[in-house]
Structure 1
Amino acid sequence: MQIIDSQIHLWTGEQAPPHHWRAPFRMEDALRDMDAAGVDSAVNCPAIWDADANAYAVEAARQYPSRFATLGWFDLSVPRPDDFVDGFVAQPGMLGLRFVLVMPDQQRLLADGALEWLWTAADRLGLPVGLMVHPALYAELSRIAARHPRMRLLIDHLGVGPFTKLPEAGELVEALLPLARLPNVAVKASGVPSMANDDYPFASTHPLLRRTFDAFGPERMFWGTDYTRMRCSWRECVTMFTEELSWLQGEDLEWVMGRGVREWIGWR
């Protein structure tokens, strides 16, 4: 079984948000820790707090094309030419895009239709687009996904932010589940230990995972970590899924642990 982490961040600068416990986190750091944890590959979402992270992501994917692929970002407030996305994803290892749209100005961009050019480009190119979106925008996101069926959306962290724990986390997951009716929307089951009120194996979160699995199915729920903010080991993030969820077995486990995200982003 190939194990692919659906979300990590690589960056070279010394700064990071306080909830990310280490800085920097370079490709060599990731490879060492991945090997120790039994993780074959990882989808790098370049750190939005580091202006050089996209360029570093391209270099990491160029050097280790079987270990790292990238969902890159750029400033959405800056006007772009029609072919900008084409050139952006032509970079080595750049298989798609990923954006955080949770602050009020970012939410307005989505709600006001200012990003229609982006969705149109992603649909035309058949791109995966990762998103962290405020739940108030799920209805609009549902309409966007329906209009652009070739664009493949990935929602970060079961739709739960880094500081939210149960029971509030459960309410956010419930708000996300109706999006499962759209075949071009998937979810990353990443960052889950941070939602827990208990220690490994974080049993308090297991019902959330089962609810998400039942809604999205094994082919649209992707294991991941957001490793640099986890307070447990990478290996524990793996075994939480591979050894502690009795209902996740066989081919379903294979899809969740790597095959699904590989297919979704087109990582050949």
Structure 2
Amino acid sequence: MRIDAHQHFWRIKRNDYGWLTPELTTLYKDFEPDDLTPLLNRHNVDGTILVQAAPTEAETLFLLQLSEQYESIKGVVGWVDFDNLNAPKSIVKLSKHPKLVGIRPMIQDIEDIDWMLSPAVSNTLQSLSQHQLVFDALVKPQHLKNLKLLIDQHRNLKVVINHGAKPNIKENKLHQWRSDLSAFRDLPNVSCKLSGLVTEASNDWQAKDLFPYIDTIFDVFGEQRVLWGSDWPVSLLASSYTKWFDTVERYLTQNNLSKARVFGGNAVSTYKLKK
């Protein structure tokens, strides 16, 4: 299957998207499955991983409900309150849904850079591991050192770093990010999403601006642990769905990398999707 491993849907009236304000004119409207379907068909994408965009369990239930209505949604990455002592119980309950494949706290928005190393988070991560759910790590470069410590403490936890940890491409801050990302090279339980790079680049980005960062992701994770995702519709701030897809396809062709793995196979195996 060809899988888009990272996309979102939202309804403004649900009113729990704290980051989604009218100033984001491109994004401040509803995005529903029927809006994405033509793009999936154009690029022969068989299904998607639908990822949370609001830090509420109501969001998770909303996404799971959508997954029951649309066959194209192969898996859902939801949210639970990691700081709540009842978070493991929430995970037990949510994990009974066949489409729930992972959980994602919005670490990039948490002020305390050491939050992920707290005992409460550790307990919740243990529950994720026990129920064979993926930990989607929405982190920035400054979180990578702590993320490595977290993973060292949870060796059985399957982790997917979102958006390559959002390197600052606009200011060409490649070297420290590359050094910190390299710490995950020999960790087979850690994968990385090739997504979200366009919104970290300049508005007039060209493929050559992204390629050093894509080079690094493949150097560290190899073609066996990289999952392509569109980050649609957030990506619309910087790119069309087609432009990003074509950019990655061209890169894979030029570097003789497996399109079958990057455009789907790795997502199927990482999230244990049903074919």
Q: TM-score, normalised by structure 1?
A: 0.86
CA root-mean-square deviation: 2.6
Q: Deviations over 1:36-79 (max 9, x none)?
A: 34332111112116774322211221122343410100222332
Q: Between 190-199 and 55-64, report the one with greater CA deviation.
A: 190-199
Instruction: Classify 1:171/1:96 alpha carbon distance in 2 versus 1 (closer, same or farther; 3 Å).
Output: same
- State whether structure 2 residue 248 is matched by structure 1 residue 241: yes
Q: What is the match of residue 66 of structure 2?
A: 60
Structure 1 alignment gaps of length 5 or more: none
The answer to whether the 8 A contact 1:61-1:92 is kept is no
1:106 CA drift (Å):
5.1
**Percent same amino acid among aligned pairs?**
19
- The aligned runs of 1:150-169 (5 Å cut-off) are 150-160=156-166, 165-168=170-173
Amino acid at match of 2:220: A
**Which residue, 113, 117, 120 being the options, matches 2:126?**
120
1:206 CA drift (Å):
0.8
- State whether structure 2 residue 152 is matched by structure 1 residue 143: no
Q: Deviations over 1:138-193 (max 9, x none)?
A: 333223323322211011111016x7624025643442221222111111110122
The answer to whether the 8 A contact 2:48-2:72 is kept is no
Q: TM-score, normalised by structure 2?
A: 0.84
Q: What is the match of residue 49 of structure 2?
A: 43
Q: What is the match of residue 96 of structure 2?
A: 90
Structure 2 residue matching 1:222: 3-state secondary structure: strand
- State whether structure 2 residue 116 is matched by structure 1 residue 110: yes
Query: How many equivalent residue pairs?
Result: 265
Mapped partners of 1:84, 1:193: distance in 2: 34
**Which residue, 229, 232, 250 being the options, matches 2:239?**
232
Instruction: Classify 1:173/1:198 alpha carbon distance in 2 versus 1 (closer, same or farther; 3 Å).
Output: farther
Structure 2 alignment gaps of length 5 or more: none
- The aligned runs of 1:191-206 (5 Å cut-off) are 191-197=196-202, 199=204, 202-206=207-211
1:217 CA drift (Å):
0.7
The answer to whether the 8 A contact 2:56-2:79 is kept is no
1:82 CA drift (Å):
4.2
Amino acid at match of 2:241: W
Mapped partners of 1:189, 1:173: distance in 2: 15
Mapped partners of 1:143, 1:266: distance in 2: 26
The answer to whether the 8 A contact 1:191-1:226 is kept is yes
Q: What is the match of residue 223 of structure 1?
A: 228
- State whether structure 2 residue 189 is matched by structure 1 residue 190: no
The answer to whether the 8 A contact 1:160-1:172 is kept is no
Q: Between 214-223 and 29-38, report the one with greater CA deviation.
A: 29-38
Structure 1 residue matching 2:247: 3-state secondary structure: helix
Amino acid at match of 1:28: D
Q: What is the match of residue 10 of structure 1?
A: 9
The answer to whether the 8 A contact 1:195-1:205 is kept is no
Amino acid at match of 2:162: D
1:114 CA drift (Å):
2.7
